[in-house]
Amino acid sequence: MLRTLSLPALAVLIAASPVRAEDTPRPAPSNPPAAPSLGADTLKPGKPAVKPYLAETAGPDATQILPPPPAHDAPLDKADRAAFVGTRALKGSPRWEIAANDVSEGAAAVLDNFACVLGTRIDQARVPAVLNLLERARLDLARATRGPKVHYRRLRPFVGNEAPICVQRTQALTDSFSYPSGHATQGWAYALILASLVPEKATPILARGRAYGESRVVCGVHWLSDVAAGRLTGTSVFATLMGDPGFRADLEKARAELRGALSGGGTAPDQAVCTREADALREPPLEF
């Protein structure tokens, strides 16, 4: 765990931190890979995507909702850099392993990642309504993150340095923009949806959703403020979806289906894995 830092220690971390993305002006690419395509199913390439719930003009405009990323050398900018530098020490730890596992996204992956807090490893063939709900919402979430990503064109924290990250460095990842975090947006919105489906498990579900976003900082692929912006974006989309009759109808179908899957027929998650996860997540890695 990264302990609370004194001002001298914070200064050392910041001095040792990499050059910030904002310090290196960068033109916008002609076709920025800012969010999943709305016209193709990322889980089944080449097949038409499910339709998002919200019309193009009905979703929240995250560019207007979010504050700009922290300015260079502002207090939040210093906290961003300190968090990146400090969490590199987690490489090889159980928390690092969770962050690497949390790289997987989408409905099926998140249901699997939330198995310990749900108490059941769900047979996903039994929950088509749940998967449909989450995958359709995913398209609305991707659309909401696209605007601010392209508007701010913020580079990821590992760009311009050789610090370790929990995934392979690729050109596609380097060229994609950082603010807000799409993973944190999706993970928090999915946690809100799951908490509304199973309210008696809301506390552990939401705690896991918070940790899912923090994994992006541990992984080294997002700034801390990217994750905070992702939570705000995810909350904004969820609130808007709750006003959509189609989403609410699908939510009710998913509620009955998920309760049935949790009440019997599922496989208990590996308790050793769940214990390691609980121990690793008990103390947040990001304290300042």
Which 8-state DSSP code applies to residue 40?
Answer: S
Which one is catalytic: 77, 80, 226, 244? 226
Look up 216 and say whether it is catalytic.
yes
Which one is catalytic: 143, 216, 231, 244? 216
Look up 183 and say whether it is catalytic.
yes
For the chain, what is the radius of gyration of the CA atoms?
Answer: 19
- Helices and strands in the chain, H and E counts: 13, 0
Buried b (16+ CB within 10 A) or exposed e, 67-97: eebbeeeeeebbbbbbbbbbbbebeeeebbb
Which one is catalytic: 156, 210, 222, 231? 222
Q: Which residues contact 186 (CB under 8 A, 6 or more apart)?
A: 105, 110, 138, 141, 230, 234
Residue 125 corresponds to which amino acid? A
Q: Are 214 and 285 spatial neighbours (Cβ–Cβ below 8 Å)?
A: yes
Separation between Cα atoms, residue 30 and residue 103, nearest integer Å? 26
Which one is catalytic: 95, 143, 183, 231? 183
Look up 151 and say whether it is catalytic.
no
Secondary structure element (H or E) that encloses residue 171, with its range: helix 171-175
Look up 222 and say whether it is catalytic.
yes
Catalytic sites, residue numbers: 183, 216, 222, 226
